[in-house]
Amino acid sequence: MAATTDYYEVLGVPRDASTEDIKKAYRRLARKLHPDINPDPEVQERFKEVTSAYEVLADPKKREMYDLGGDPLSAGGGAGGGFGQGFSFTDIMDAFFGGTAARGPRSRVRRGQDALVRLQVELAEAVFGATKELQIDTAVVCTVCSGQGTASGAQLVTCDTCGGQGEIKQVQRSFMGQVMTTRPCPQCHGFGSTNPNPCVECGGDGRVRTRRSLTIKIPAGVDSGTRIQLAGHGEVGPGGGPAGDLYVEIAIKPHPVFARDGDDLHCTLQLPMTAAALGTSVELETLDGKEIIEVRPGAQHGERIRLAARGVPKLRGTGRGDLFVHVEVQTPTKLDARQEELLRELSKLRGEEYVAGPGRVASQGNLFSRIRDAFKDGLN
């Protein structure tokens, strides 16, 4: 590219454009002209021209030289639209994709991972809340090296391959000229230093695994699947870095009497046929204590009795769910002669002659007339 080429005109920016405006202009043009998008030879030449203009104007020193009448690319042996000497391919990619990734050695100290444990609790503990002791296995800071990862008295050594930069650069030739690429140093793995004398306890990681006890408060109203977050109680990071979070997932054990449905509780009350017919009072041991259940005379199978605010507290909000007692009427399966006689007598007194018994034919009048009447009522 000749020294008289107007780089500002190539990028379409004014002479007082800021560095950010220059980067935006190059990014916009590069998206249209990049060889991977448009392989036309003329377009490729245009892309080289735009890239050379960006190389000059994005560098304050080169831009100053250009504004004074010089051509930094010609001085660096990059004339003719190629990349100037030392022009990094990473710089192009940063401008092209808008990257702002930091360069240099990686830190050995990093945040630890989150941990997840599952905790089984009783239904009563989920309803009223509880305090539980947990035993968890996680990574903690190595007490021998205090997270440094080095043996006592030892120090990290600057990597002699990358000179402490954590990355190495390679220059490759392509159809666009010389391209400089950067990759992590294979010797120090990008850290910029090596650890020739690692701690014998943690092997240089700065952390060890151990079992520790933890007290957790379970709020009232939790359900299976509820996760409780304990910030900073997860895995300690490499190099003794800050710990991640610990998540405790609740699993409620089955209860022998009560079943849970959201914030409501359900149980079944088995009643003999006579108790359901005559009505009765039953003492029920709920999670809140003993309750007297009043069963009305003539209670039917499947009927339910509601005990307000005897369910589960709402985890988010106020109030509690209800406790529903489902009546299950039990019909006797074995009758002695006297019991059968009494039931037959009762059926006659009630006009229920269709109750026949084994080996007898039921009188169909009452039974089928009731079914017929019920069917008519349903149609109406």
pLDDT at 88: 45
Confidence (pLDDT) at 35: 62
pTM: 0.64
pLDDT at position 177, please? Answer: 62
Task: Give burial (CB, 10 Å; 0-12/13-18/19+) of 56.
Answer: buried
316 CB burial (10 A radius; 0-12, 13-18, 19+): exposed
* pLDDT at 359 (0 to 100): 55
Q: What SS3 string covers the chain?
A: CCCCCCHHHHHCCCCCCCHHHHHHHHHHHHHHHCCCCCCCHHHHHHHHHHHHHHHHHCCHHHHHHHHCCCCHHHHCCCCCCCCCCCCEHHHHHHHHHCCCCCCCCCCCCCCCCCEEEEEEECHHHHHHCEEEEEEEEEEEECCCCCCCCECCCCCCEECCCCCCCCEEEEEEEECCEEEEEEEECCCCCCCCEECCCECCCCCCCCEEEEEEEEEEEECCCCCCCCEEEECCCCCCEHHHECCCCEEEEEEECCCCCCEEECCEEEEEEEEEHHHHHHCEEEEEEECCEEEEEEECCCCCCCCEEEECCCCCECCCCCCECCEEEEEEEECCCCCCHHHHHHHHHHHHHCCCCCCCCCCCCCCHHHHHHHHHHHHHHHHC
What pLDDT shows up at residue 64? 81
pLDDT of residue 380: 55
Which residues does the chain have with pLDDT short of 50? 1-3, 75-91, 95-102, 355, 364-365, 367, 371
* Domains of the chain, start order: 7-97 (1.10.287.110), 105-150+205-254 (2.60.260.20), 157-194 (no CATH), 259-330 (2.60.260.20), 337-379 (no CATH)
267 is in an annotated binding site: no
What digits encode the pLDDT tens for the residues 45-104?
A: 888 888 888 888 888 888 888 877 776 766 443 333 333 443 444 445 554 444 444 467
CB 213 within 8 A of CB 145: no
